[in-house]
Structure formats: C-alpha cells, structure tokens
C-alpha cells in the first residue's frame, strides 16, 4: 500500500507553494488589467472612485483565493459586480449568478445545436443536455436562494446542502459532455466549449463555499460552526427544518404501518394496473409524503419520478416479487443516461421491497436498471439486477440498506455521495474477454463531497461466475474521473476479487489523483499484500474511516435515522467482524 511519507509531503508542499505563487501572479495580472480598464472608464462607475474600485478588486481576489480557476473567477465577478462592492456575501452571490448565466447559455446552445444536428446520437445527446442543464440550473438557483436567507457568518448551518447541490450541478454538466462520446459533427466541440466555461464557474463557487471559513477569515469576519443535532435545542434535536409535519409522522412510523395513497395491482385489485398510472397521480412540489404500494408482479414499464415529485415512497411485496423490468441499452442506440428502467429525480424518495431490472444482457453494454438523482433518497431491501452499469448512483445523497446489486462492468457508478450498508454486490458472468468491475466513481473536481462507500457489505459472485473467475477477473473499482473516491469499509470480500484489487481506467489516468481505501475488511479477497501500488491507493486510520461513514459523510442522523430504516451511524467496533 502507498502510504504518504514525510518526504512526499515536503515535495507536495513545495509543489503547492510554486503553484500558489504562479496562481497569485496570474491573478495579479488579471487584477491589473481589470483595474486599468476600470480607471480608463468613467471614474465613479455607479459612484465608485478609483480607490473604491481597487478595494473591490482586492475583495474579489480574496473571494477567489480557494478556486482552481482563479482567472475566470476574478474576471467574471469583476465584470458583473458593482465596482464599489466589497461585501463578501454580495460578491459570492455574484459568483453564483455568473455561473447560472453560463449554464443557461449552455442550455440555449443545446437547443440551437439540436435543431441543426443530423447525426441521431448527437441529436439525442443534445436533447439530454437540455434536460441536464435544467437540473444543473435548478440546483444552482436553489443554492443561491438558500444562501440569501442566511447571514454569511452562519452559513455553515447549510453548507452540506450547498456543497451537495453545487456538486450535483457540476455532475449534470459533466454528464451532458459525456453524452457526446461516439457522436459525429461539430456540435460536440461547440457544446463542450460552452460547458467548459460553465463547469469552471460552478467549480469556483463550490471551492468558495467549501473554504468559506478561510474566505471570511481573510475579511476579518467571524464564522460560527454549525450546531450538531445533539445540541440542546428541542427544535433541532428531533427533526431538521426540511421535514414537514406529515413527513415526521411517516418517518416515525414503520413501513408496515404506512397507509398507501394508491395501490398498483396487475390483477385489478388496486386503483391502478400500472406503475405509471400511479406515478401520474402524484401531486407536484408537495411536502406531503405520497405512498404507492405495488403488489406482486413483473411490471414491464419505464418509470420516472420527476424532479417535481417530492417525498414519494414505493413499497413492494419483496425484491423478487415486485419487479420493474426493461431492456433499453446503449448498443441499440439509447444514451446511457436514458437506458434506466426506473429513474428517480424528485427529492426525498424512499423504496422498500422493490426489484429493478435491466435484461439487455452483457453484449448490449451500458444498460441501467436504476438511475438515482434524488437527494436524501433511501432504498431498503431492494434488488437491482443488470450487467454493465446496473445502478447509476448519479448525484446527491443516497443510502442503501440491505440491498442486492448484481452486474458485470462498472455495475455501481456515478458521482453521488452514497453509502451502502449491509448490502450484497454480486458479480455475474461477463462476456468472454471482459473484466468485471464493481464500482466506477465519477468525481471530477477535488472539492466535490462525493464518494462510493461500502460498509459491512458482501462482495461475492453468482454460481455461474465462480468457475471462470481466474479467466475473467473481477476488481473492486476503477477511476472513471480524475478524483474518483471509493471506500470499502468492514466488508466481506470473497475470492472473486483479483489480488490486485483495483483496475486502471486507461493507462495511468487518475492513478495518482484517485482516492481508494480499504479498511478492516475480511474474506479471502481482502488481503492487501498484492494490491496495486498506485499513489491513489491509500492506507487510512480508523479516525479517517469515521469521516466516511453515513453519519458524517451524508449527514445521516438528519434524515436516515428518522426514516425507521436500520442505520449504523459510524463504524462498527474495529475487528469485531473478523472470522
């Protein structure tokens, strides 16, 4: 294992110092140009003097200090802010607004290019971009709205939400760009050029919010760390402010005691015979929980819980009894994003005893059974079956308890902040010549609060796979994007996993920047002796591992704990599960 030594730390410090000096020089050049242009303009733009403009420019430089795209940060805020503005909250709000404007430009571009596109795949990619840009704008605008309701010194009360939403906004932009793989024509180049600017500005806002305490310190302003839910305040101790009165009743109740709003039954014994009929009855943008009970049966439908459908609960008769199935796939011309049998977008979604399948088969390549974008979504005793790309844990915070996920290539993938507890990951027999990979995490920006985390799970194989495991090896994961993060904690790893543990994506891409860690695992496949020696393979302590548990990483006490679903907030006693 590659642990970080003092020599490497010193080298990194030197590199970071040089990078920091270079960044400051670049920013100084931008500031000089900005001030020069401002001085040549009419003195007193909106009543601003030369001194005020210089003071404002200095404030903008301070705001942009934590960002990776400093030149874009300084120039975009300077061009949009009042020239005498030095108030940090106003400048941060301007940073949000210029990012939103850039994403809206990308949305408009996707519509224009779609009309001109002749290649079918390009046209579909652009159509998906339109949808994804809407999601991206919505998360940015939600963040800006929430920011406006708080004093900046107390914004730590909602910093986890802001970082989650900003990361999701970036993920949607990246998904749009990914959709042009294999397309023809100039549309891809034009769209990616617009997306580059939008991504950089959104990344800058995320960096500012991630380092908000240091930003405020640079302005000599106070910053109050948020109170924990255990703080002695009866209003915060029981439920966070997003939980409505009716939702509290549901969250305190067991699944068995919930009365459904509607029932779906293929035999006609419910209000509806199809799931989509029931979904059409869901009220839009309501805080009240809407429960759909789906009786035993195989439902051949493509279902989407739209962005405007909040707090939907689906309950089946069992993961192998109530099954939603489809077979859309990339090989037959459907973009990966649209292959999902079931797609969940609306926030606060919960499912229990449901099965989700994509039966396209390994030869059809990407074929998603379940795509999840729902923030604070919970899946309990569910099963997702497919081959390549079975579960698309796309964005936001997600929790899976006692679920089974089966597949072959990258069968759990995406850029959400997701924790799996007590779940079973089942490797299936792939096509000849293929390798199986359990996870492919898609974190592209180093500030994103995202990762795939498996805790007390079992990684095993189906019966048909065991005889061919030496010829068709399986791996824990591979880095889909530059800052890919995956943690395998306190889990059973069977001998289906190759001793190398992890597989490169393409050459040496992301091998130094990913973050892959295994901690307190057990089983024949858990030995660390022959693991790959990339720089991105880390040895972590118990304290570090605790940071990536459900309580700390996805703020589980605020929403999972209240759901009635079994939930382990932190690590189990270290070594307690070893055989």
Nearest 5°: the CA angle 191, 193, 195 is 70
From 193, 219, 245, the end of a domain falls on: 219
pLDDT for res 336:
97
Contact in structure between 57 and 30 (CB atoms under 8 Å): no
Question: How confident is the model at residue 38, as a pLDDT?
Answer: 38
Q: Compute the distance between CA of residue 14 and CA of residue 20 in angstroms, rounded to an integer.
A: 10
**Same-domain pairing of 198 and 332:** no
Count of C-beta atoms within a 10 Å radius of residue 429: 20
Last-in-domain residue among 172, 192, 219? 219
Q: Model confidence over 283-314: pLDDT tens digits?
A: 999 999 999 999 999 999 999 999 999 999 99
Question: Does a structural domain hold residue 99?
Answer: yes
Question: Residue 333: left if φ>0, alpha if ψ -120 to 50, beta else—which one?
Answer: left
Q: What is the DSSP letter of 548?
A: T
Decide if 260 is inside a domain. Answer: no
270: alpha, beta or left, given left = phi > 0 and alpha = psi -120 to 50? beta
The reported pTM is 0.88
**pLDDT digits 0-9 by tens, 417-437:** 999 999 999 999 999 999 999
Query: 380 and 529 share a domain?
Result: yes
CATH code, domain carrying 434: 2.160.20.10
Structure confidence by residue, pLDDT tens digits, 314-330: 999 999 999 999 999 99
**Predicted pLDDT at 241:** 43
Above 60 in pLDDT, residue 347?
yes
Q: Report the mean per-residue pLDDT for the chain.
A: 87
- Distance, in Å, from the CA atom of 210 to the CA atom of 352, rounded to the nearest integer, reads 34
117 confidence band (pLDDT: 50, 70, 90) = confident
pLDDT in tens, 22-69: 444 344 444 443 433 333 333 334 455 676 667 888 999 999 999 999
pLDDT bucket at 224, cuts 50 / 70 / 90: low
User: Does pLDDT of 149 surpass 90?
Assistant: no
pLDDT value for 250: 53
| Average pLDDT of the segment spanning 343-348 | 98
Whether residue 529 lies inside any domain: the answer is yes
At residue 371, the pLDDT reads 99
pLDDT at 564 over 90: no
Domain presence at residue 23: no
Catalytic one of 161, 410, 445, 520: 410
Helix (H) or strand (E) holding 379: strand 377-380
Query: Which range of residues forms the domain containing residue 202?
Result: 54-219
With contact defined as beta carbons under 8 Å apart, do 464 and 493 qualify?
A: no
Compute the distance between CA of residue 511 and CA of residue 364 in angstroms, rounded to an integer: 28
The reply to whether 342 and 195 lie within a common domain is: no
With cut-offs at 50, 70 and 90, classify the pLDDT of residue 11: very low
Q: Tokens for 509, please give them.
A: 């891409």
Tokens of 433: 């010549």
Euclidean distance between CA atoms 340 and 390, whole angstroms = 9
Virtual CA dihedral for 425, 429, 431, 435, nearest 10 degrees?
50
End-to-end alpha carbon distance in the chain: 23
568, part of any domain: no
Percent of the chain with pLDDT over 90: 73
Note the pLDDT tens digit of each residue in 167-194. 999 999 999 999 998 887 788 889 999 9
Q: Quick check: 529 pLDDT over 70?
A: yes
Confirm if 160 and 214 have CB atoms less than 8 A apart: no
pLDDT, tens digit, 9 for 90 and up, residues 66-115: 999 999 999 999 999 888 888 999 999 999 999 999 999 999 999 999 88
Ramachandran category for residue 318: left, alpha or beta (phi over 0 → left; psi -120 to 50 → alpha): left
Confidence of residue 232 (pLDDT cuts 50, 70, 90): very low
Angle at 277 between CA 323 and CA 245, to 5 degrees: 90
Residue 488 has pLDDT above 60, yes or no: yes
Q: How many CA atoms lie within 13 A of 386 on its CB side?
A: 35
Structure confidence at residue 225 (pLDDT):
54
- Separation of alpha carbons 379 and 189, rounded Å: 38
Return the pLDDT at 186.
85
Distance CA 328, CA 48 (A): 59
> 192 by DSSP, 3-state: which?
helix
Q: Does 474 reside within a domain?
A: yes
Q: How far is CA 334 from CA 267, 329, 359, 369, in A?
A: 32, 6, 15, 14
Contact 350, 378 (CB under 8 A): yes
Tally of CA atoms within 13 A in the half-sphere of 304 that contains its CB: 9
Residues 335 and 196 in one domain: no
Q: Same domain, yes or no, for 317 and 211?
A: no
In CATH, what number is assigned to the domain containing residue 178? 1.20.140.40
Is the residue at 394 inside a domain? yes
Residues 205 and 316 in one domain: no
Nearest-10 Cα torsion for 492, 497, 498, 503: -110
**Number of domains, the chain:** 2
Q: For residue 407, what pLDDT band results from cuts at 50, 70 and 90?
A: very high
Q: Do 212 and 317 share a domain, yes or no? A: no
- CA 171, 173, 176, 177 torsion: positive or negative? negative
Residue 242 located in a structural domain = no
Distance CA 497, CA 97 (A): 47
Report how far residue 123's alpha carbon sits from residue 308's, in angstroms, rounded to the nearest whole number: 26
Please indicate, yes or no, whether residues 214 and 336 belong to a single structural domain of this protein. Answer: no
- Annotation marks residue 267 as catalytic: no
């Amino acid at each position: 294992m590659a642990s970080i030594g003092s020599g490497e730390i010193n080298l990194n410090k030197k590199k970071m110092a040089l990078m920091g000096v270079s960044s400051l020089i670049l920013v100084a050049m931008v500031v000089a140009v900005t001030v020069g242009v401002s001085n040549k303009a009419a003195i007193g733009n909106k009543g601003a003097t030369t001194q005020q403009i210089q003071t404002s420019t200095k404030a903008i430089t301070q705001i942009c200090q934590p960002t990776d795209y400093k030149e874009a940060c300084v120039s975009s805020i300077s061009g949009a802010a009042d020239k005498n503005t030095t108030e940090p909250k106003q400048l941060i709000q301007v940073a949000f607004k210029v990012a939103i404007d850039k994403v809206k430009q990308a949305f408009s571009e996707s519509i224009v290019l779609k009309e001109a596109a002749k290649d079918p795949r390009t046209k579909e990619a652009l159509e998906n971009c339109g949808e994804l840009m809407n999601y991206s704008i919505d998360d940015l605008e939600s963040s800006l709205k929430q920011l406006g309701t708080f004093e900046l010194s107390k914004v730590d009360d909602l910093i986890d939400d802001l970082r989650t939403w900003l990361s999701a906004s970036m993920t949607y932009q990246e998904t749009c760009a990914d959709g042009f793989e294999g397309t023809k024509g100039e549309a891809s180049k034009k769209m990616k050029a617009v997306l580059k600017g939008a991504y950089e500005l959104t990344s800058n806002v995320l960096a500012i919010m991630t380092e908000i305490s240091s930003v405020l310190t640079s302005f000599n302003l106070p910053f109050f760390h948020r109170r924990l839910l255990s703080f002695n305040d009866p209003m915060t101790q029981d439920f966070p402010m997003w939980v409505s009165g009716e939702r509290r009743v549901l969250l305190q109740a067991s699944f068995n005691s919930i009365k459904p709003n509607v029932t779906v039954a293929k035999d006609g014994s419910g209000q509806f015979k199809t799931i989509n009929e029931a979904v059409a009855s869901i009220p839009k943008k309501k805080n009240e929980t809407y429960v759909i009970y789906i009786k035993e049966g195989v439902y051949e439908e493509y279902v989407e819980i739209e962005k405007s459908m909040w707090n939907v609960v689906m309950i089946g008769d069992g993961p192998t009894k109530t099954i939603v199935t489809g077979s859309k796939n990339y090989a037959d011309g459907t973009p990966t994003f649209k292959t999902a049998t079931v797609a969940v977008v609306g926030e606060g979604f919960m499912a229990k005893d449901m099965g989700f399948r994509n039966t396209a088969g390994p030869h059809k390549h990407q074929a998603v059974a379940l795509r999840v974008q729902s923030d604070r979504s919970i899946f309990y005793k569910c099963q997702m079956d497919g081959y390549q790309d079975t579960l698309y844990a796309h964005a936001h915070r997600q929790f899976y308890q006692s679920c089974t996920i089966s597949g072959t290539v990258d069968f759990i993938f995406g850029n959400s902040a997701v924790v799996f507890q007590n779940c079973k990951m089942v490797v299936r027999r792939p096509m000849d010549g293929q390798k199986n990979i359990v996870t492919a995490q898609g974190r592209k920006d180093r500030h994103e609060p995202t990762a795939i985390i498996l805790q007390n799970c079992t990684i095993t194989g189906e019966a048909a796979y065991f005889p061919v495991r030496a010829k068709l090896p399986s791996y824990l994961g591979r880095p889909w994007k530059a800052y890919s993060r995956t943690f395998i904690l306190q889990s059973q790893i069977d001998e289906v996993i190759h001793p190398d543990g992890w597989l490169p994506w393409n050459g040496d891409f992301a091998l130094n920047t990913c973050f892959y860690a295994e901690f307190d695992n057990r089983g024949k496949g858990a030995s660390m002796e022959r693991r790959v020696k990339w720089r991105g393979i880390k040895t972590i302590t118990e304290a570090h591992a605790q940071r990536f548990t459900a309580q700390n990483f996805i703020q589980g006490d605020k929403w999972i704990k209240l759901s009635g679903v079994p939930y382990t907030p932190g690590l189990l006693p270290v070594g307690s599960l070893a055989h």
